[in-house]
Amino acid sequence: MENLSRGVAPRILRGSLVRADPGHKVGQDGRVRSDLPTRLRHDLDRSLFTVARLSGAGAWGASGGAALFRGERIAARRALASRIPATGEERASDTLALLFVLGYPQSRADVDAALPTLGLGGAEALSLIQVDGDTVRPLVDLRPYSFVDSAGEVTWWIASDLGELALQGPLREDHVLGIGGASTTLSGLMIPRAVDRALDLGTGCGIQAMHVARHARHVVATDISSRALDFARFNAELNLVDGIEFRLGDLFEPVAGETFDHIVSNPPFVITPRAEGVPAYEYRDGGMVGDALVATVVEQVGAHLAPGGVAQLLGNWETGGSGKRGAFSVADWVARGGADLDVWVVEREVQDVASYAETWIRDGGTRPGSADFERLYEVWLDDFAARQVSEIGFGYVTLRRPQDPEAATTTTIERLAGSLGSNDTGLGAHLLEGLDAVDALRSLTDDELLLTTLRVAGDVTEERHYWPGNDDPTVISLRQGGGFARTVESGTALSALVGACDGDLGVGAIVGALAQLLEASEADLRAELLPRVRELVRVGILRL
């Protein structure tokens, strides 16, 4: 395995340009192009190498899948080996899963049968495999990926570097990450709005660029790593995703002076000590102290947003020390950049520094209990102590340049831990509704809002809690079933107002009726309820 993790660097064909031979063709620009990705796609299409076959109670079963989630591959391998069919598409799928997902060498005959159109020679030319006699070893991770978005259901195959599970050891520092939790999170958050130009900053294996290409006419995908761009080009070609332009460079340098309607980024946000002997992985470590990488992206992104343009990214932020305000730091970074942007931060998780260090040291392939783990643990904690950092937050950042340059911008910082709501097409549609609501509310005065009729969203329920023997509730909560599954603490008046919002009466009429019913001042009730109504409209509990 040392040969695979250090000595052999996968060489996915740059733009699929190779020397001429019978397997290649010349394009209109006179350059020689490979048809090997087409052959590979043909074989993958004909196999059962899909998420549906492998996941759930599929090929490696629920137990094997759960073990894989924990970073162990033996149970999945045993499940496949116990039931691998003698011939056919199922055998091809299982062979490909054992080779490219689990990282186990396979026989030459089995791999040749699984890739009949591409062949072993084609797979070697694409640097997908290494053939040693009768044994075939994987050089890349290649796995199926399925999702549903607002445009429908899609299946792709995504190539990246072999992970720790396959290598059984630490990763290369220039490791190109494939599909992970952060990448699926960001793609699920992606706002499904048709735009002209989009940017994927730090594209990695290209997955976000491919997602955004489903609603953008032209996508620019950048990365500081040429290896990452090679993988990204290959993945786009393999999956017939057009309209992506790939550029090499750091942060916004490759797009200096350009603006975009949609910017997405899963930046290398992990806060890693800048100390000798600490591995710095390109896919996750930004090369700056603390949360400075995310701060730099947030500070500079406004200059690259067209009017009405939206930026979406993931990030970590520190709490403690001088000016380290956790999620509230994002608003400070925007202000430092000088752009007038709407700011919407959803903090999903907070970790103490010890838990954070353990998570990311393990992520690099260093096992707990080893001497290296102990050494790195000390370095990470020393780094946090030197900057008086007490905890690190993780969350989603949505920034927007208003269409009207004179519009007053809004800032929303919220912490939403726990499970999200049920939404088959992800949270992007929910975020878009929220941004549209901000626009609508921005133009409504309080007097105009009082004349507006609202409807309670269909996924909203109410919970009431009582002390034993009491008729009046002690706690009233409004719960969202979809979106971010928010729970909003309510009260008698607000709950009654929400319940009356059926599209017939204006907000002012409802408040007036409640004032009489509760024997309260109508003016005081308006002052109390209108800010709450605006918030409920913004989060989607009430709809215009």
Rounded Cα–Cα distance for residues 106 and 131 (Å)? 10
Residue with tokens 């970073």: 71
Calculate the dihedral angle through the C-alpha atoms of 64, 69, 71, 76, rounding to the nearest 10 degrees. Answer: 20
Per-residue pLDDT tens listing for the chain (544 residues) = 222 222 334 444 444 433 333 344 433 333 335 799 999 999 999 888 888 888 765 788 788 888 888 878 898 888 887 776 666 778 888 899 999 999 999 999 999 999 999 999 999 999 999 999 999 999 999 999 998 888 888 999 999 999 888 888 777 888 898 988 888 999 999 999 999 999 999 999 999 999 999 999 999 999 999 999 999 999 999 999 999 999 999 999 999 999 999 999 999 888 999 888 888 888 888 788 889 899 999 999 999 999 999 999 999 999 997 778 999 999 999 999 999 999 999 999 999 999 999 998 887 778 888 998 999 999 999 999 999 999 999 999 999 999 999 999 999 999 988 777 655 457 999 999 999 999 999 989 999 999 999 999 999 999 998 898 888 888 999 999 988 999 999 999 999 999 999 999 999 999 999 999 999 999 999 999 999 999 999 999 999 9
Rounded Cα–Cα distance for residues 53 and 128 (Å)? 22
3-state secondary structure of 105: coil
Tell me if 473 is assigned to some domain: yes
Tell me if 38 is assigned to some domain: yes
Residue with tokens 């921005």: 442
The residue from 141, 164, 185 where one domain ends is 141
* Count of CB atoms situated within 10 Å of the CB of 6: 12
CA distances from 207 to 186, 232, 360 (A): 10, 7, 22
Task: Tell me if 401 sits within 8 A of 308, measured CB to CB.
Answer: yes
Tell me if 371 is assigned to some domain: no
If one counts the domains in the chain, the total is 2
* Predicted pLDDT at 2: 27
The residue from 141, 166, 199 where one domain ends is 141
* Predicted pLDDT at 450: 96
Tell me if 348 is assigned to some domain: no
* Predicted pLDDT at 34: 75
* Predicted pLDDT at 187: 92
Q: CA geometry: angle at 173 spanning 168 and 174, to 5°? A: 110
Tell me if 481 is assigned to some domain: yes
pLDDT, tens only, 320-375: 977 789 999 999 999 999 999 999 999 999 999 999 999 988 877 788 889 989 99
Instruction: Indicate the burial class of 35 (C-beta count within 10 angstroms; 0-12, 13-18, 19 or more).
Output: middle
Tell me if 339 is assigned to some domain: no
Tell me if 478 is assigned to some domain: yes
* Predicted pLDDT at 424: 47
pTM: 0.89
CA distances from 366 to 59, 125, 165, 314 (A): 29, 32, 12, 25
Note down the domain range covering 26.
Answer: 1-141
Rounded Cα–Cα distance for residues 82 and 65 (Å)? 15
Q: Which residues contact 403 (CB under 8 A, 6 or more apart)?
A: 307, 308, 439
Nearest C-alpha neighbor of 458 from the set 437, 436, 483: 483
Identity at 89, one-letter amino acid code: E
The residue from 141, 170, 205 where one domain ends is 141
- DSSP output for 485-500: --EEE--HHHHHHHHH
What b/e sequence results for 474-511 when a residue is b if at least 16 CB atoms lie within 10 Å of its CB, and e otherwise?
eebbbebebbbbbebebeebbbbbbebbeeeeebbebb
Tell me if 57 is assigned to some domain: yes
